[in-house]
Structure 1
Amino acid sequence: MRPTAPPRRRPPRARRAAPLLSRLGALALITVVVGLLPWLSGRDPALSLLRARSAEQEPTPEALDAIRDELGLSDGPLVLLGSWFGGLLRGDLGTSWVSNTPVLPSVLSAAGVSLFVMGAALCVALPLAALLCAPTLVHGARGTLRPGGSGSGAAAAALTALPEFLTAILLMLALSVWLGWLPPYGWNGPDNLVLPAIALGVPTGGLLGRLVDDALPAVFAERWVGLWTASGCTPGRIAAAALRRATPALVPQLGLVAVGLTGGAVAVETIFTVPGIGRTALGAAESQDLPLLQSSVLTLVLLAALGGMLAQAAHRRLLGPGLRDAALSLAPPPTAPAGPLRRAVPAVCAAVLLTVTAWGLTRDALTVTVADRLQPPSWAHPLGTDAVGRDILARLGHGALSTVGVAALVCVASLVIALVVGFWPALATGASEAASALPPVIAGILVVAVMGPGTLGASVAIALVSWPPLAAHAASLVQQTRAAGYLSGQRAIGAGRRWILWHHVLPSVTGPVARHAVLRLPGTALALASLGFLGLGAQPPSAEWGLSLSESLVYVERAPLAALAPTAMLLLLAAFAVSLSTLPARALTRGRTP
């Protein structure tokens, strides 16, 4: 019997080249798509530019032909895109179609503002993250850490689940509108930096703190901690070593977090009118200013690629030469059983959401009664009315369908994409990094430019950027399953690759990734609400919660309940996500193990 040949492995140089080629391919694809946006949308770029330059001017054929001749639009999209690429190689990003000024200074200025805001947000996030993981670090170094952790994970998850646009609105209402401590908008001095930095830094600090807090219990459960403690090492030295041990596995995620701050600040920059790169891209998309939009999105994608490469280089540096070709992973941390209170929180949140939704669905959400506009709560309208006299309770009920229902469909689409990509993780590295660095708002800008604003465009945008975490989870499970010993036995007895795929690999991967997708449902709904708030998602007269919040924010001083009601529903949704994410895995699966 002839010996079985060992499986062929790609050389290390080829393994390193695949992610680089993937990043370059994703960068080129996104740039080409942005360049073709005016033609993909089916709208006349000349007409959009005429309206952006002068809303009063009549769109006569002569005026439109003059714009086409001026900008070279009559030559077609491919010629225009080729000339832009040629200028890019020379360091020339072109001239704005609207303001007729060079694009490069505007992009550099906007990117500098965004990076400055990102630095200020990190100054808020890092101390907050240290504060959140400090109890776990102290108790673990002293040997007093309980199986369930220090309890700070729930607080970190709560801060992480709070979306930036909602944090920004709450800060503006509390510190600017009601207390008058800080300016609500503008970019005139240090005071204008405080609210954007806090709005971005609080969720980021919660995420960083949660990543470290989740990794530390597994580190302190390793045998070396007990040996060091028995040999008389101080708690400070053990804590420093534990951080050093946990850092390599977290560096890739921390790099994407830092890059995501640059592009994820679009909603915050829009709310506080900060002239950053995200707000610049949003304005360029609205006015069909193609050179400025191309350069803004290209800047975001380049930052994503640079951040991913720096994070990977730091990851390999921290691992050292002996472990560069091996995956450094931490064992699952010990978890405590979920108590009655922890089990009750998601049930209470779900009960309130379902009650309000069911009650609101029995009422009329579309009838406009101008005479009843901005009315306080009454028997006829338990939560009052909005700016055009529609019942707020009815808007909440009907808005749940368009917010949570659409989010469920998006999660299903993301799950399918993740399962496909999970089998080819190296080839999808660039697309994954680009999607991670393009927040839903930027993806919404691109998709809406093609499909127009609406629920469908917002759903496609969220699906395009929500699959990378699920794909990373699927890729990890695929790698673990393929390396399992029992599969080697299956191959030895003659099982084919396709049979193993359908009967072993897919069943082992689909279940955990599907549960992961379900846990991301509330976050997806919040992302849809953020697009609705910015006018990129559902359009009037839809009752979608983000759109309802945007419409009522102008009248918050006269009728605060009109804005606070959708805000409360979004906060309940975030609390539901937090309570689910902090439950042990066995509580979510009824204790069943594969």
Structure 2
Amino acid sequence: MRLRALAGRAAALLAVVLLVGLLPWLTRNDPALTILHARYADRPATPGTLAAIRAETGLDGGPAHVLGGWLGGALRGDFGTSWVSGMPVGPDVTAALGVSLTLMACSLLVAVLVAGLLCLPVLRLGARRRLMGRGARAGVVGAALAALPEFLLAALLAIFFAVQLRWFPAVGWGTFGAVVLPAAAMGVPAGALLGRLLDDALPAAFAEPWAKAAVAGGIPGSRVARHALRRSVPGVLPQFGFVLVGLTGGAVAVETLFAIPGLGGTALGAALAQDLPVLQSSVLVLLLLGALAGLAVRGLGRALVGPALRDRALPPLVRPRLTTGRGLRWAAVLLTLAFVGVVVAGLLRDPYGIDAAVRLGGPSAAHPLGTDSLGRDTLARLGHGAGRTVLTAVAVSALTLVVGVLVGLLPGATGLTETANALPAIVAGLLVAGVAGPGAGAAALAVAAVAWAPLAAHTRALYEQERAAPHVAVALSMGAGRRRILRRHVLPGVLPPVLHHAVLRIPAIALHLASLGFLGLGAGPPAPEWGRMLSENMPYAERAPWSVLAPAGALVLCGVVAVLWAAVGAGARGRGPRGARREAAETSTPVDRVTGSAARADGAPVAVGART
């Protein structure tokens, strides 16, 4: 079984590598025309000139010729020549990789510090023996921080600490101060996510029989807390791999915003310029980084757990059921009403009307949220951008639900699902932009290309649990066919929680779409899109901060509302017969960056660290 799973992962990764290698042949634009415009702008695009360029670059063959040439060169360390500059790609990518690795290492350090700070109160309570046998009430602070996309946090940090306070440089690389804001922008959401998972796992570890026996035996509480931390970390490690992969995607936006010469910014520039050799090499290195991160996390998990993992003797950590207070419900309702009110007020205004007399105007009675650099009403563009983004996110969520359920029901699709999980939406956006060019449809396609994977993993885990249920065995013994069992006994237990999971992921999909719009890979001007609004107004952040804070606040509010409703749903729903059987299965689902929890798709208590 392990060999089969390993072969599936290898085949899926190979398929992605082949897709990267075929980018020059898959692109809708003529590569020869792109090279001609980049290098010889004054030469006419005659058939003879284009044919000569194709012959010079090796693009005159079929897809097998293009793929073979690229793979052969990559194995030798030769990534080809840039279509734009005409220089070898390898040295530039190597230098950019060094910068990105430094930034990712600093971000990882920030993430570990943030995670430690978030779970420190739980460890203190456990050391004082106040968590023995009962659960801790998890807050939403970690989940709210985890819901912030890196590009948004980077923009907010740049506005306050670089533009307003001038404590750190706004752009550049090479000094210690230039590392602080980018590392914080990438590390804080990742650390909040890890801290949230540990905050869920630690109370369950303190509630286990061994912890109670240790306390009864007089072992100091601080020592019990250390063992509880070690007991909880292995269950979080699989999600730690997704966090590391997420850093590669976050580096694209952060490096672009702070003008850092790293691999992410290099890949984005290549995608926008259709410089496919540079894009191919950058994406390939990003994929290899993700794969190596996954292998390192698996090795660390085996080293921490030891024989218990090999012998499958490590039971899942089941966090005690939590209840939700009225304050959390009221906060969710009030913030939702505020969000809907802002959107409705914006929809009643004209988002395209230009008034040059009030360019970068402050909030007023005529323009409650001010105006942008062209004199357009910010509230109007915010409302219409919400409608565009939310509708697109709903459509993408519906598509990913169908694909995720179908793929999750296939027995041999685990490798494909894990590979898609390890591919950040921004990296997928770079690939789609390299083929189809930037645009709203390309951004939606890029998000849909990876957003189905968590739903497929969730579907597969629930399918395995439902198929092993006693009522299915009874139906089989009575002669029921496979289709009847699937339709009447398995799918009724699988589809409702997966549907709920898909609905919860709509805000996350909206944030992914906004991030692609911020990078210029989404809808083009003058479309009122939140990410584009943030990108267009960043140069005027010092003069008119409201033009940036309005879309940034909308994105933050969207994430916080999703977090609150997820917490309300988790606390309001109890542990039913089906929910108890699902607990161990659901933790195979990757952590949602909006809800900040692993597999809280149906509101049932989480079994943290279950075997998959």
TM-score of the pair, normalised by structure 2: 0.89
* Cα 1:542/1:275, change in 2 over 3 Å: same
Superposition RMSD in Å: 2.4
Aligned to 1:5: none
Question: Are 1:84 and 2:64 an aligned pair?
Answer: no
Aligned partners of 1:157 and 1:582 also within 8 Å: no
Q: Structure 1: how far apart are the matches of 2:569 and 2:385?
A: 31
Aligned amino acid, residue 454 of structure 1: G
Report the residue type matching 1:434 in the other structure: T
Structure 1 residue 118, shift from structure 2 partner: 0.8
Q: CA deviation at 1:532?
A: 0.7
Cα contact 2:115–2:192 (8 A) shared by 1: yes
Q: Which residues of 2 match residues 565-580 of structure 1 at below 5 A?
A: 565-580=550-565
1:496 matched to 2:497: no
Partners in 1 of 2:159 and 2:269 — Cα distance? 25
* Residue number in structure 2 paired with 1:6: none
Question: In the alignment, is the contact (CA less than 8 A) between 1:435 and 1:468 conserved in 2?
Answer: yes
Identify the residue that residue 117 of structure 2 maps to in structure 1. 131
Moved more, 414-423 or 186-195: 414-423
Which segment drifts farther, 17-26 or 177-186? Answer: 17-26
Is 1:262 the equivalent of 2:241?
no
Whether 1:275 and 2:296 are equivalent positions in the alignment is no
Partners of 1:581 and 1:166 in 2: CA distance = 21
What is the aligned partner in structure 2 of residue 160 from structure 1?
146
CA pair 590-294 structure 1, distance change in 2 beyond 3 A: same
SS in 1 for 2:71: helix
Counterpart Cα distance in 1 of 2:452 and 2:313: 22
Deviation string 1:473-514 (CA, Å, 9 cap, x unpaired) is: 222222222222222222222222222111121111111122
CA separation in 1, counterparts of 2:321 and 2:55? 67
> Given that residues 124 and 197 in structure 1 are in contact (C-alpha distance below 8 angstroms), is that contact kept between their aligned partners in structure 2?
yes
Task: Give the AA of the match of 1:92.
Answer: D
Whole-Å Cα distance in 2 between the matches of residues 535 and 413 of structure 1? 24
Partner of 2:79: 93
**1:457 equivalenced with 2:442 (yes/no):** yes
Contact 1:413/1:463, CA 8 A, preserved across alignment: yes
For these two proteins, the number of residue pairs brought into alignment is 579
Q: CA deviation at 1:561?
A: 1.6
1:9 is aligned to: none
* SS in structure 2 of the partner of residue 74 of structure 1: coil
Give the superposition deviation at 1:31: 2.4
Residues 390 and 588 (structure 1), Cα distance of their counterparts in 2 relative to 1, 3 Å cut: farther
Are positions 1:367 and 2:353 aligned together? yes
String of CA shifts for 1:526-582, please: whole Å, max 9, x gaps.
111111111111111211111111112222222222221111111111111221233
Q: CA 1:312/1:479 → structure 2, altered by over 3 Å: closer, same or farther?
A: farther
1:253 and 2:253 matched? no
- Partners of 1:503 and 1:44 in 2: how far apart? 52
- 1:243 and 2:229 are equivalent in the alignment: yes
Alignment of 1:213 onto 2:183: no
SS of match in other structure, 1:441? helix
How many angstroms apart in 2 are the aligned matches of 1:54 and 1:345? 60
**More displaced 10-residue stretch of structure 1: 242-251 or 192-201:** 242-251
Cα deviation code 1:288-329 (max 9, x no counterpart): 323222221111222222222333344344444454364845
Match in the other structure for 2:104: 118
Distance 1:309 1:420 in 2: 28
Q: Which amino acid aligns with 1:380?
A: A
Give the structure 2 partner of residue 357 of structure 1.
343
Give the Cα–Cα distance (whole angstroms) in 2 for the partners of residues 202 and 335 of structure 1: 28
Distance 1:153 1:126 in 2: 19
Alpha-carbon distance change, 189 to 367 in structure 1, aligned in 2, over 3 angstroms: same
Shift of 1:35: 2.8
Cα deviation 1:85-132 (Å, max 9, x = unaligned): 222333332233333333222222222211111110111111110110
1:334 aligns with 2:303: no
The CA deviation string for residues 16-40 of structure 1, in whole angstroms up to 9 with x for no partner, is: 2223222322232222222332332
Instruction: Write the distance in 1 (CA, Å) between the matches of 2:132 and 2:213.
Output: 19
**Could you say what secondary structure the match of 2:60 adopts?**
helix
Query: Following TM superposition, by how much is the alpha carbon of 1:593 offset from its aligned partner in structure 2, in angstroms?
Result: 7.2
Using the TM superposition, name which of 132-141 and 148-157 deviates more: 148-157
Q: Cα offset for 1:446? A: 1.1
| From 268, 273, 277, the counterpart of 1:291 | 277
What is the one-letter code of the residue matched to 1:437? A
Q: Aligned partners of 1:412 and 1:434: how far apart in 2? A: 21
Instruction: State the distance in 2 between where 1:103 and 1:114 align.
Output: 16
- Mark the CA change 1:511 to 1:117 in structure 2 (over 3 Å): closer, same or farther: same
Q: Matched residue of 2:393: which SS?
A: helix
Match of 2:218 among 228, 232, 236: 232
* Number of the residue aligned with 1:434: 419
Using the TM superposition, name which of 400-409 and 134-143 deviates more: 134-143
Deviation larger for 48-57 or 449-458: 48-57
Q: Deviations over 1:410-461 (max 9, x none)?
A: 22222222222323465332x3343233222111111122233222211111
Alpha carbons 1:301, 1:434 under 8 Å: kept: no
Q: Is 1:172 the equivalent of 2:158?
A: yes
Give the alignment of 1:546-557 within 5 angstroms. 546-557=531-542
Aligned partners of 2:40, 2:426: CA distance in 1, in Å?
Answer: 27
1:304 has 2:290 as partner: yes
Q: Amino acid of the residue matched to residue 103 of structure 1?
A: V
Q: Deviations over 1:51-83 (max 9, x none)?
A: 333555554445433322321222233312211
Q: Does 1:563 align with 2:548?
A: yes
Which blocks of at least 5 consecutive residues in structure 2 are unaligned?
A: 580-612
**Percent identical residues:** 51
Corresponding residue SS for 1:582: helix
CA contact (8 A) 1:49 1:288 kept: no
In the other structure, the counterpart of 1:42 is 28
Give, in whole Å, the separation in 2 of the partners of 1:259 and 1:385: 38
Does the 8 A contact of 1:418 with 1:471 survive in 2? Answer: yes
CA contact (8 A) 2:135 2:204 kept: no
Q: Which residue of 2 aligns with 1:203?
A: 189
SS in structure 2 of the partner of residue 355 of structure 1 = helix
The corresponding residue for 1:12 is none
In structure 2, what is the Cα distance between the partners aligned to 1:306 and 1:422?
Answer: 25
Q: Indicate the residue corresponding to 1:522 in structure 2.
A: 507
- Where structure 1 has 5 or more consecutive residues not aligned to the other structure, the ranges are 1-14
- 1:482-493 equivalences under 5 Å are 482-493=467-478
Distance 2:388 2:573 in 1: 26
Separation of aligned partners in 2, 1:433 and 1:268? 25
Query: CA 1:325/1:92 → structure 2, altered by over 3 Å: closer, same or farther?
Result: farther
Q: Secondary structure at 2:568's aligned position in 1?
A: coil
Shift of the 146–219 alpha-carbon distance from structure 1 to 2, 3 Å rule, reads closer
Mapped partners of 1:382, 1:141: distance in 2:
51
2:601 is matched with none
Judged with a 3 Å threshold, the aligned counterparts in structure 2 of structure 1 residues 32 and 458 are, in CA distance, closer, same or farther, namely same
Give me the whole-angstrom Cα distance separating, in 2, the residues matched to 1:147 and 1:351: 38
Change (3 A) 1:96 1:325: farther
Q: In the alignment, what sits opposite 2:598? A: none
In 1, are the aligned partners of 2:112 and 2:191 still within 8 Å (CA)?
A: yes
- Structure 1 pair 488/191, CA: closer, same or farther in 2 (3 Å)? same
> In 2, distance between residues paired with 1:147 and 1:380?
58
| Candidates 572, 577, 597, aligned match of 1:587 | 572
Query: Matches of 1:106 and 1:34 in 2, distance apart?
Result: 19
